[in-house]
Amino acid sequence: MVLYLFAVYYGESFVKQNTAQFPTIKKGMFLFMKVLLLSVTVGEGHNKTAQAIGEQLETMGIEYTILDTLDYISKTLATTNENVYMLGIKKEIGSPYASIYTAAENRKKSKDILSLTRTLNYMMGHKLLKYIKIYKPDAIISTHIYPPMMLDTLKQRGLLNVPIFAIATDFLVHPFLEESLRNEYLVTASPLLNMQAFRKGFKKEQVLPFGIPVKSVFAQKEPKQTVRKRLGLDLNKFTILIMGGSMGFGKMEDSVILLDRMKLDMQVIVVCGNNKIMYEKLKSIPFKKNVMILSFVNNVHNLMDASDIIVTKPGGLTTSEALAKQLPMILCDPIPGHEERNIEFLLNNGVAMATSESVQLDELIFQYFYYEKRAVNMKSNIDLIRKPNSSKELCDFIKKTIIEWKK
């Protein structure tokens, strides 16, 4: 974390004026309200969460804009952050990455005064404040952990007087959110995380367990056979959806080959995301079963409707989308740290299974097939924690908060 922050101090953003252009602003039709959505590009989850909120705001007639926070502050910082993230999720250095995350969980909270972390966050926050003063939002929503820390330092100095919503985009309260206690609200994935939030210093009235915001299409559901027919799939075969995030990470090739060798009657949909090498490799394999190989797609909601189970990395957004669709999960290849915590939450609540070094995907699929009631039980558990209307509930609350704030 400190390495990222040092990139700002020694980067080009403190040497010359930032020339980043304002992003496209989505204007509402009826209300005189403006919301600033702050994201950070590492993968696509944080951006998609911001887009889901923006989509809902637009239906309510509220103007919004999405800003890539680090890119605005310093392109050097944004590039450094993304490169370190990509390096950190590689399997060969996964263990030290996990150790760093664990150390963050166990660290003592930074002091408000004479703290290197807070000083550097203030430097970035002061740069961000220029944008905020020009755009003049009525509320600020953050879908990544960095902006809330910056905004907290501005609140501390009385430089910001709008309500701030920090969105926790995983099934945990990230350790660095302890640096954001002056944010008016913390939006969490579930009320089951309230104890975590309270332990980190948030008050009951700050915590909003609306769920991780997902697009409205994930709250809707089409009949399986209707979607399968449209996609050119067998209407009656058990269907497995395999996804590896936007970058197509994970042992996707091994997973598909394992499933293809099974004697069980099934068909498989594989989404490779932006991983072109994996896409071409899978397309060249003569599978025995019906295996649909796709690259980057915009209809994940349809693919989930067509499927009986999803095999995926345990990213907060993808798993929230699957929960909204009442789709049981098999989780694999977690990024050390936050995605490992996601697995713990989802397994402990009975909505997922997980591969490991000793339990491979084909064994879990066999177990799932063996007990027909397994799917029924998992879906019942999903109904206990799914939040299909998370974006609407959040945006209704944002609108209400803005109205009260303006009184």
The domains found in the chain, sorted by start residue, are 2-214+389-406 (3.40.50.2000), 217-385 (3.40.50.2000)
Alpha carbon 58 to its chain centroid, in Å, reads 21
pTM of the shown model: 0.88
Mean pLDDT across 142-152: 95
When pLDDT is averaged across residues 317-346 and rounded to a whole number, the result is 94
**pLDDT tens-place string over residues 83-132:** 666 555 555 445 555 666 666 666 666 566 557 788 889 999 999 999 99
Residue 323: predicted pLDDT: 98
- Does 344 score more than 90 pLDDT? yes
| Residue-by-residue DSSP string for 44-84 | SHHHHHHHHHHHHHHHTT-EEEEEEHHHHH-HHHHHHHHHH
- Residue among 208, 172, 175, 174 at smallest CA distance from 319: 172
Confidence of residue 207 (pLDDT cuts 50, 70, 90): very high
Helix orientation angle between 390-406 and 45-59, rounded to the nearest 10 degrees:
60
Of 402 and 6, more confident: 402
Q: What confidence score (pLDDT) does residue 275 get?
A: 86
Q: Helices 45-59 and 316-324, interaxial angle, to 10°?
A: 50
Find how far residue 268's CA is from the centre of its chain: 25
Ranking 42-51, 74-83, 284-293 by mean pLDDT, the lowest is 74-83
Give the strands of the sheet with 207-208, arranged side by side.
63-68, 34-39, 139-142, 164-167, 185-187, 207-208
